Amino acid sequence: MLTTAFLLLLLKHTFCDLFLQSLRTPADKSNITSWALHRHCLDHGVFAFVILLFFVDFKLALLLGLFDYATHTVIDYTKHKIMKYYNVLKNGKVFWSLQTIDQASHYTVYFIMITIIGMNI
């Protein structure tokens, strides 16, 4: 069960980060109040909530969906703030290093979410 939930969260991440974003105009996510940032992070939180409803009760699914939204906001905002501050180009080594840290951070969040679920079943 936990392995399936973890896999679905990873697939959700791929869907939200690659497919859904490809449908939208690129936007500046280095502003914490940016609608583009929050819309993207809401995608993650809502999809996480829906997926987790199949594995845990409503309250825990909601809390973990909010956790996914909040952590995704902090991770993406931080990456974009660093990129803007240091004028990082999206085709260089520094970008790909930041992107690696960004993705590893998100995967770690999903691991934490699955750990929390494991402690509650």
Query: Cα 98 from chain centroid?
Result: 15
pLDDT of residue 27: 83
Q: Residue 59's pLDDT is what?
A: 98
Domain spans of the chain, in order of start: 2-119
Q: Which of 7, 6, 13 is nearest to 72 (CA)?
A: 13
Closest Cα to residue 16, out of 110, 118, 116, 112? 110
Residue-wise pLDDT tens digits, 76-121: 999 999 999 999 998 899 999 999 999 999 999 999 999 999 998 7
- pLDDT score recorded for residue 120: 87
Can you tell me which residue has the tokens 């500046």?
Answer: 28
Which is nearest to 43 in space by CA: 67, 64, 12, 74?
12
Q: What is the pLDDT of residues 5-14, one digit of tens each?
A: 999 999 999 9
Q: What is the pLDDT of residue 99?
A: 96
Place of tokens 């960004």: 102
- pLDDT mean over 36-60: 97
| 16-29 residue pLDDT tens | 999 998 898 888 89
pLDDT at residue 94, rounded to an integer: 95
80, 40 in Cβ contact below 8 A? no
Q: What is the pTM of this model?
A: 0.94
Whether residue 53 contacts residue 84, with contact meaning beta carbons closer than 8 Å, is answered with no
Dist. CA 76–CA 99, nearest whole Å: 10
